[in-house]
């Protein structure tokens, strides 16, 4: 195998990793945007579904969730060159998930889902960055 073929293969692998991360990240952002919209539109239903006693904080949390989704869109569009929003988003998801684990049964289930998504993003992002670095001469 020549160097040209090897470089082409590693670039194709890196492109596949980038597309895989963008797909997963897009799914997570879409789910978070839907959750934020639900918190804004139907706060009582969200409180009832989670079994939490959050009062008027649910619409505020929904607005903040939508705001963070908007701040992470550049990381979804170009995850290789917009690393800061992606890394901060993963760290933030882990923090929110850990806090939610201590808020009761309903929020703990949501927190567990957030932690699973954060760990999946962390794993896929790490593999993507490694593949991109290895594809450069």
**Sequence spans of domains, the chain:** 3-134
- Per-residue pLDDT band for 49 (boundaries 50, 70, 90) equals confident
- Could you give the percent of the chain with pLDDT greater than 90? 37
For residues 36-57, average pLDDT: 81
pLDDT at residue 108, as a whole number: 82
For residues 26-44, average pLDDT: 91
For residues 5-14, average pLDDT: 81
Contact between residue 135 and residue 10 where contact means Cβ atoms under 8 Å apart:
yes
Distance CA 68, CA 29 (A): 9
Helix ranges (DSSP H) in the chain? 3-41, 43-50, 57-77, 83-101, 105-134
pLDDT at residue 4, as a whole number: 58
- pLDDT 10s digits, 68-79: 889 899 989 999
Q: What is the pTM of this model?
A: 0.83
- Per-residue pLDDT band for 116 (boundaries 50, 70, 90) equals very high
Residue 17 structure tokens: 């990793």
Residue 17's nearest CA partner among 135, 124, 134, 137 is 124
pLDDT at residue 62, as a whole number: 84
Residue 96 structure tokens: 């929110």
């Amino acid at each position: 195998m020549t160097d040209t073929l090897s470089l082409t293969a590693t670039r194709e692998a890196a492109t596949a990793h980038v597309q895989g991360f963008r797909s997963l990240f897009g799914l997570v952002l879409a789910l978070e945007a839907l959750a934020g919209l639900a918190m804004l539109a139907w706060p009582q239903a969200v409180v009832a579904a989670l079994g939490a006693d959050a009062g008027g904080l649910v619409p505020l949390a929904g607005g903040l969730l939508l705001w963070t989704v908007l701040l992470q869109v550049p990381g979804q569009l170009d995850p290789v060159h917009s690393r800061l929003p992606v890394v901060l988003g993963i760290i933030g998801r882990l923090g929110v998930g850990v806090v939610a684990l201590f808020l009761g049964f309903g929020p703990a289930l949501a927190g567990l889902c957030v932690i699973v998504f954060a760990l999946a993003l962390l794993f896929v992002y790490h593999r993507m960055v490694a593949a991109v670095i290895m594809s450069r001469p």
